[in-house]
Chains A and B, each alone.
Chain A
């Protein structure tokens, strides 16, 4: 046994462990809150393929390369891919999720600001990955 006091070591360990516990709990809680989809969310099927995005609304309307949504409504994206792995990103609304062939990933958001926002693929998916872009148009509700 050491003859010196060990309390500073225990304080050090305690502080670091407490902070790491806080990090884990906080991240878990925010993830849980953010992943709760409101019951009224409209489902939009998002399909990525080399090298463009296709969007299908609940009423069957399809859009390619652009997406028109209403401000203040909730939307749930069901994201998939037909060829390679892509990643669907609306940077301004912190939406980012992989589009994986044979799998449907879901993410939801509610645009609260009208305007035009870029959509971009964030997973290198081939030669024209850099230009796999789209535009989100958020319009004021009627």
Chain B
């Protein structure tokens, strides 16, 4: 376990921190002309897409869960507690 933690610290110092610094330093260079409208609305639509995908995954899982584990489902089996009163 100690080896894993030690490796994590070394990797953090040697790889992650310089990489983060390199990426953040890119903000100091002068920028190029761009259309804010395209960038910002493009981001908005992409994130809306992600939001709807997450909504679909979460609500789809809940619907599946409710249908699959309802008592009246032919595949439903009583749990140990329900069958024998065991925890």
Contact = CB atoms under 8 A, between A and B. Distances in A.
Interface residues of B, number: 24
Contacts, number: 60
Contacts of A38: 30-33
Contact of A112 (B32, B35, B43): B35
Nearest to B65: A8
15 contacts: A12-B57, A12-B61, A15-B57, A16-B54, A19-B53, A19-B54, A20-B54, A30-B42, A32-B26, A34-B36, A34-B39, A34-B40, A36-B30, A36-B32, A94-B37
Contacts of A128: none
Interface of A: 12, 15-16, 19-20, 22-23, 26-27, 30, 32-39, 74, 92-95, 108-110, 112
A10 to B, nearest CB: 13
A36 B36 contact: no
B63 interface: no
A33 B39 CA distance: 9
Contact of B35 (A12, A19, A26, A110): A110
Given A19-B53, A19-B54, A27-B47, A94 B31 contact: no
Nearest to B40: A94
Nearest to B41: A94
A33 B47 contact: no
